[in-house]
């Protein structure tokens, strides 16, 4: 079965934002919007759910803090206690002020690296992945809105998109069997 998608090309982000509002007001389904730079507020206008990456970053930071605490306790207190600068080596709590920089660095290290890995996995980005960008101009100065034409009248939808400020309209038929 083939699905029909209409690609509408815009050259201004403000016109794109207004077009997205108009398309959503008419209850058409926007598949995706491709932009050459982040357009602030576009996610809210498209009705996308807020991201939860900040929550995962906090949890990854807690994992880093836990690893740092357990590592330093094992290395400096249990496994190989040393008298460094007259500090007692029999209690983690008494040595904790000296361990704060290590705890901070590992918290940031774990949060940053695991957040990037999570972002790439969620976005399905990995080395040697074929680009899914439907129009190369969206990496320079054009904006593309992909609207599901599904059961709608294609000519009516195309005219509506031209009225929203689109410069080009193209109908794309995707074969879902491949």
The predicted-structure confidence for 127-159, as pLDDT tens digits, reads as follows 888 888 888 899 899 999 999 988 888 899 999
Radius of gyration of the CA atoms of the chain, in A: 26
Look at the chain and report how many structural domains it folds into: 2
Does residue 42 form part of some domain? no
Band (pLDDT 50/70/90 cuts) for residue 1 is very low
Is residue 110 packed enough to be buried (19+ CB in 10 Å), middle (13-18) or exposed (0-12)? buried
Does residue 136 form part of some domain? no
The sheet that has 143-148: what strands, in order across it?
30-34, 143-148, 2-10, 168-175
Claim to verify: residue 29 and residue 70 sit in the same structural domain: no
Does residue 44 form part of some domain? no
pTM over 0.75: no
Contact 24, 45 (CB under 8 A): yes
> For position 17, which CATH number holds?
3.30.70.260
Q: Which domain holds residue 104?
A: 53-122
Claim to verify: residue 78 and residue 110 sit in the same structural domain: yes
Q: What is the DSSP string of 39-74?
A: -TTHHHHHTPPPP-HHHHHHHHHHHHHHHHHHHHII
The torsion defined by the Cα of 21, 168, 171 and 178, in degrees rounded to 10, comes to -90
In 3D, which of 2, 117, 135, 125 has the Cα closest to residue 63? Answer: 117
Claim to verify: residue 118 and residue 154 sit in the same structural domain: no
Does residue 45 form part of some domain? no
Does residue 31 form part of some domain? yes
Model confidence over 71-109: pLDDT tens digits? 999 988 888 887 777 776 778 888 888 889 999 999 999
Claim to verify: residue 31 and residue 57 sit in the same structural domain: no
The backbone torsions φ and ψ at residue 175, rounded to the nearest 5 degrees and listed phi first, read: -90, 115
With a cut of 90, say whether residue 21 has pLDDT above it: yes
């Amino acid at each position: 079965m083939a699905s029909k998608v209409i690609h509408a090309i815009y050259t201004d982000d403000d016109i794109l934002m207004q077009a997205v509002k108009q398309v959503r007001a008419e209850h058409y389904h926007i598949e995706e919007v491709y932009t050459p730079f982040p357009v602030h507020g576009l996610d809210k206008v498209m009705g996308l759910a807020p991201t939860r990456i900040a929550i995962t970053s906090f949890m990854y930071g807690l994992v880093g803090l836990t690893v740092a605490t357990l590592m330093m306790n094992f290395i400096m207190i249990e496994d190989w206690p040393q008298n460094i600068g007259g500090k007692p080596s029999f209690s983690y709590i008494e040595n904790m002020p000296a361990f704060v920089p290590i705890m901070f660095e590992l918290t940031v290290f774990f949060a940053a690296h695991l957040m990037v890995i999570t972002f790439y996995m969620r976005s399905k980005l990995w080395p040697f992945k074929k680009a899914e960008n439907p129009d190369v101009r969206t990496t320079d100065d054009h904006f593309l809105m992909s609207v599901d034409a599904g059961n709608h009248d294609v000519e009516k939808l195309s005219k509506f998109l031209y009225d929203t400020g689109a410069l080009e309209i193209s109908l794309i038929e995707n074969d879902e069997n491949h």
